[in-house]
Structure 1
Amino acid sequence: MPLGSFPRSEGTVSSPIGGGASAVPVHVAVIMDGNGRWARARRLPVIAGHRQGAESVQKCVRTAIQQGVRYLTLYAFSSENWRRSTKEVGDLTSLLRFYLRHKINELHGQGVRLRVIGEPERFEGPLREELHRAETLTLHNTTLTLTLALSYGGRAEIVQAARRLAEDAVAGRITPDSITENTLHDALQTADMPDPDLVIRTSGECRLSNFLLWQSAYAELIFMDVLWPDFGESEFLDALSRFAGRQRRFGGRPA
């Protein structure tokens, strides 16, 4: 099947795609890895890799819209990234604030809704203000939901959900016996979006690195050798093509 022409998926985990039928995933999640290595290979400061990586985000969004992907979630800043140098964290947050200020109108014009998961309250006030402005401006857009995972950790998200359910149980709003996978799912920050059908990681690393651990239980995983700043339309289409060739079983037998 030629790249650039993929039939739509009929659903996510709750509606398996049978028999290896070609389909575009409803929800794609991306672990954007390799900015630093890209910069070091060119003897450039790390921020140069982050700037080029921001350009790749724009290409990724455009391709997702063109192909009919409805949800795109990007691992933009993990909870572990706070261990990086103060300068790199500052450069990253300044770059994110710049792109939110100067690119949000373009995203809004494309019908993109911007959302944030994680702990954005850990960032400085100016970035939080830009995030709030962007979320408010794009709230009612429906072409694509672009979710930024900022100061995000999958284990921490599950702990927060469990704590919320425990508080409800102590308050008598629910009983322990009533807690199911569905109730825990509904306590997650991603409760109002489908689980990812496809998780892509760039840079050749083959791990989830604490990203959407609960939500990715039945996602297809694709690890690509390309560094994130070199990820563009052709790489995204390649990942979609590989996804379309997968046979999704969800624990059942093949069709």
Structure 2
Amino acid sequence: MGAVCASGASWVKEGVARRAEWFGSGMTWLRTFVYAVYARRLRKRLDGANLPRHLAMVMDGNRRWARQMGFEDPRVGHRYGAEHLDEVLGWCAEMGIRHVTVFVASVDNMRKRDAGEVGNLMRMIEEVVAERLSRPSSVWRLHLAGRLDVLPDSTRDALKLAADSTVAGDGGFHLNIAIGYDGREEIVNAIRALLDEEAQAGHSVADVAQRLTADRIAEHLYTGGQPDPDLVIRTSGERRMSGFLLWQAAYSELHFCDVYWPGFRRIDFLRALRSYAARSRRFGA
């Protein structure tokens, strides 16, 4: 009798386990279905909407995401973050956003963070970002923004090779990688380049001062020739610019997203575009 009861109890436990597994898989399917429906509705509402020509993104929260997901080494987040950029660029191309600038690492990041973490991030840039942008299937022309002299030789060479390989295949989509970047240094370097250009042309300081305009300085920024960003998205919940595109983002709309970069979903992206489309831009007025 005891054996029969034990067998029956085992059968009940197995049945409960199967029902729980079925229920769990059913809930996963339901969440996936609801997400897909919601994403399609968001996308449809953006048809004909005013969308940014130039989107800038601060890809923040890679390490915190890795800790949240239970990884022992938070540096794993850099790989997921680098791979996720490829997916997000696909969303941008789908929406017809032809200019994208992403903030990868600042000069301070390169100098102040642990050498092992910086080395890991640079490997991800080489193995994932530079490699994928170099593929013939990529529609993006790569531009480099920042002090390349603070990068490891291998990272600098990989990015330059990727930039050179994307010139011929320019399909009207431009990606600026801000790495070894500092917004104040960019402005200083732009003014220095302008002064050097004028000096080589034989113009005096008085001549330069007389003809100096904001547009002339902008021509010498890393993004010279491209439109200023219309929308800046920062992930991870931080509400600050961290020196990113100080000149170019003077009149940009800002959107702060509370998810970490590797967890930045398509619906988060579409919500940011919806928020932008609903705003009335004033450009300082």
TM tier, shorter chain? 0.7 to 0.9
- Listed one character per residue, the Cα deviations across residues 30-82 of structure 1 (whole Å, up to 9, x for unaligned) are 00110111122224312211111112211210100111100111001111102
Structure 1 CA distance, aligned partners of 2:188 and 2:134? Answer: 35
- Which of 175, 194, 199 is 1:146 aligned to? 175
* Larger mean Cα displacement after TM superposition, 137-146 or 217-226: 137-146
- Which of 128, 138, 148 is 1:99 aligned to? 128
Structure 1 CA distance, aligned partners of 2:261 and 2:124? Answer: 16
Q: Quote how far apart the aligned CAs of 1:170 are.
A: 5.0
Match of 2:113 in 1: 84
Structure 2 CA distance, aligned partners of 1:190 and 1:176? Answer: 23
Structure 1 CA distance, aligned partners of 2:174 and 2:199? Answer: 35
Sort the Cα spacing of 1:69 and 1:186 in 2 relative to 1 into closer, same or farther, 3 A: same
CA contact (8 A) 1:100 1:130 kept: no
Structure 2 CA distance, aligned partners of 1:47 and 1:212? Answer: 26
| Amino acid corresponding to residue 175 of structure 1 in structure 2 | V
- Which of 58, 66, 70 is 1:31 aligned to? 58
Q: Which has the larger radius of gyration?
A: 2
* Larger mean Cα displacement after TM superposition, 117-126 or 77-86: 117-126
Sort the Cα spacing of 1:218 and 1:75 in 2 relative to 1 into closer, same or farther, 3 A: same
Structure 2 CA distance, aligned partners of 1:183 and 1:236? Answer: 33
Structure 1 CA distance, aligned partners of 2:279 and 2:188? Answer: 32
Query: In the TM superposition, what are the counterparts of 1:67-216 in structure 2 within 5 Å?
Result: 67-82=95-110, 83-100=112-129, 102-106=131-135, 108-140=136-168, 141-168=170-197, 172-173=202-203, 174-216=207-249
Match of 2:280 in 1: 247
Unaligned 5+ segments in structure 2 are: 1-39
Structure 1 CA distance, aligned partners of 2:220 and 2:172? Answer: 25
CA contact (8 A) 2:66 2:74 kept: yes
Q: Whose helix proportion is higher, 1 or 2?
A: 2
Structure 1 CA distance, aligned partners of 2:101 and 2:153? Answer: 23
| Amino acid corresponding to residue 208 of structure 1 in structure 2 | M
SS in 1 for 2:224: coil
RMSD, aligned CA: 1.9
Match of 1:218 in 2: 251
| Amino acid corresponding to residue 153 of structure 1 in structure 2 | D
SS in 1 for 2:43: coil
The alignment-based identity, stated in percent, is: 37
Q: Quote how far apart the aligned CAs of 1:101 are.
A: 5.5
Match of 1:49 in 2: 77
Q: Quote how far apart the aligned CAs of 1:110 are.
A: 3.5
CA contact (8 A) 1:65 1:143 kept: no
| Amino acid corresponding to residue 42 of structure 2 in structure 1 | L
2:40 is the counterpart of 1:4: no
Unaligned 5+ segments in structure 1 are: 9-21
| Amino acid corresponding to residue 95 of structure 1 in structure 2 | M
| Amino acid corresponding to residue 199 of structure 1 in structure 2 | V
CA contact (8 A) 2:131 2:162 kept: no
Q: Quote how far apart the aligned CAs of 1:102 are.
A: 3.9
